[in-house]
Structure formats: C-alpha cells, structure tokens
C-alpha cells in the first residue's frame, strides 16, 4: 500500500487538474452564451438572402447561374469541413471528421475524386494526416466568426466549381441543437436545388443595375458565403457547449477520484495508527 505522503501528492495533483477543468468549464459557459447570440444574429441575413435568391430565380429565367444548373454526372466533389481550432471539446471534431471520412471513402469507391477545404485547425490537421487534397484552409478563426477570413478559402472552392473542376460541393459541420446536443451534418450546398428556393408564381422581372449577370453572380456568391458563415457560427456555438459539457464531466470525474484517494489515504493513516498502538500495547505488556 502506498505511503501517506504519496497519496497526498496524488490528491494535490488531481485537485489542481480539477481547478483547471472547472475554470475551463466556466470560460466555455460564458463564451457559449455569446456564441449562441452570434449564431442567432446571423440568421436574419441567411433568411433574407435566401428570399432574394428565390425571387431572383423566378424573375429572370434567361440567365441561369452555374450554381443552379444540375450537372449530369459528377466526377469530382468538394467538401468544406468546419471544425474547431482547439481540442478538449469531447467528441465534437471526431464526430464530424468521422462522418466526412466515411463519405469520402464511399465517394472514392464510386470513383469520384475529392477535394477539401478545411475551416478550423483540427479539420486541417485531420485532412493532412489522411493525405486528402486540401485546396484551401483557414485556421485560427478565433471566438467570433469573421466573414473576411472565410471569403478567401470558400472562393477557392467556388472558383473550382465554376471552372468545372468540382461538380458538387458539400458542407460538413456540427449543427447546434441545444446545449446538451449537437449533431454532425453533411449538407450538399452546390448545385442549389430549385426546390430549396421555392416555386414560381406570376411573371415579372427586376430592373438590374449594372446588369443582370453581375448582380446575380454576386448574389449567388454571397448566398453560399452566408451558408458557410452560418455553419461556422453554429459550429462555434457547438464547440463551446461541447467543451462546457466535457469539462463539467472532467471536473466531476476528478471529484470522484479525489474522494476515492481520500478514502485510501484515511484508511492507510488509520492502519498506521492502529499498528503503532498495538506495538505500544504489546511493548507495555512485555515489560
């Protein structure tokens, strides 16, 4: 049995770990609130731009944007993987990467090439380890999503799509359901399905300034960016709540370990006292 001092140092070290996990839990809790607010704040833009895109797809049948055209056969697919930059958030990143990996394998077995775009350090590291072809990436996204950081990497994928180097584009991220529940999703974002934008009613057209093509091009670009932005915002909210839950579990586990160690410590202490006592009694009896 370990000596009293050994157990004491062990308890001390577990207590220190518990302090850290508890602090991280509280930090994650406060960040989570902000991340959730941000996620909700980003929703109106997504809704509005979807409405405008829907109007536009009905109003102007002559020019059909490449994003709306369904291609006959896909040869190469792109996937944007949204993950967190930091770890210690439970199975959050593993769940997304596992799902993406499964999908990538089935694409590859179907003879499709896969190009990836990594948003977030963990996903980037994963894709590199897997030896996947990463066209673009953005890491160090911080606590708040910034569109400026996302535009570049997403544009690389969209350009590849426009050039015909990619025929489909998917977006994998963790959807925030509530504090306790987040689920990994892989959504097809390109080509946009017409059904998603609603059905036509009546015939009318806009006055375009400067011209229809450039306005529609720009709007479609923004629509995809808004989708990606929303995904990143959701992922960040998921990350913080997953971290909060993971750190809470870690703190609780540390508490259990401390209780067990304290019990052992007290037992050894008592055993030592009993031993000493019996030695004294035996010694006194011998006299």
Supply 222's token pair.
């923004």
Report how far residue 28's alpha carbon sits from residue 239's, in angstroms, rounded to the nearest whole number: 9
In sequence order, the β-bridge partners of residue 123 are none
User: With binding defined as CB under 8 A, does residue 126 bind other proteins?
Assistant: no
Please, which residue, 192 or 250, has the CB nearer to other proteins? 192
Q: Smallest distance, Å, CB 118 to other proteins?
A: 21
User: With binding defined as CB under 8 A, does residue 276 bind other proteins?
Assistant: no
Q: Tell me which of 1, 20, 41, 249 binds other proteins, using CB under 8 A.
A: 41
Size of the site for other proteins (CB under 8 A): 28
User: With binding defined as CB under 8 A, does residue 214 bind other proteins?
Assistant: yes
Q: Which residues contact 258 (CB under 8 A, 6 or more apart)?
A: 11, 14, 15, 18
Rg (CA), the chain: 28
User: With binding defined as CB under 8 A, does residue 52 bind other proteins?
Assistant: yes
Specify the stretch interacting with other proteins by CB under 8 A; choose among 17-25, 26-34, 158-166, 218-226: 218-226
Report how far residue 158's alpha carbon sits from residue 169's, in angstroms, rounded to the nearest whole number: 8
Report how far residue 185's alpha carbon sits from residue 171's, in angstroms, rounded to the nearest whole number: 8
Report how far residue 161's alpha carbon sits from residue 167's, in angstroms, rounded to the nearest whole number: 6
Q: Smallest distance, Å, CB 177 to other proteins?
A: 22
Contact footprint for other proteins (CB under 8 A): 38, 41-42, 44-45, 48-49, 51-52, 55-56, 59, 147, 204-210, 214-215, 218-219, 222, 225-226, 229
């Amino acid at each position: 049995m370990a000596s009293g001092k050994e157990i004491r140092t062990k308890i001390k070290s577990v207590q220190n770990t518990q302090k850290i996990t508890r602090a991280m839990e509280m930090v994650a809790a406060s960040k989570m609130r902000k991340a959730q607010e941000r996620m909700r704040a980003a929703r109106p833009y997504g809704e509005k731009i979807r409405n405008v895109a829907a109007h536009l797809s009905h109003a102007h049948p002559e020019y059909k944007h490449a994003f709306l055209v369904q291609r006959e056969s896909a040869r190469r697919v792109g996937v944007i993987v949204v993950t967190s930059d930091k770890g210690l958030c439970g199975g959050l990143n593993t769940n997304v990467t596992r799902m993406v990996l499964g999908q990538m394998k089935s694409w590859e077995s179907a003879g499709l090439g896969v190009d990836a775009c990594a948003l977030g350090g963990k996903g980037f590291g994963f894709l590199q380890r897997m030896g996947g072809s990463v066209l673009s990436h953005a890491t160090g996204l911080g606590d708040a999503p910034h569109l400026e950081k996302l535009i570049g990497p997403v544009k690389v994928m969209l350009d590849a799509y426009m050039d015909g180097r990619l025929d489909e584009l998917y977006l994998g991220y963790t959807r925030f359901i509530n504090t306790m529940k987040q689920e990994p999703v892989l959504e097809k974002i390109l080509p946009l399905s017409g059904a998603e934008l609603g059905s036509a009613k009546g015939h009318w057209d806009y006055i375009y300034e400067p011209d229809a093509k450039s306005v529609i091009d720009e709007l479609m670009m923004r629509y995809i960016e808004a989708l990606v932005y929303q995904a990143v915002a959701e992922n960040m909210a998921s990350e913080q709540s997953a971290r909060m839950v993971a750190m809470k579990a870690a703190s609780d586990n540390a508490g259990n370990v401390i209780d067990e160690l304290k019990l052992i410590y007290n037992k050894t202490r008592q055993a030592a006292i009993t031993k000493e006592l019996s030695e004294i009694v035996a010694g006194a009896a011998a006299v």
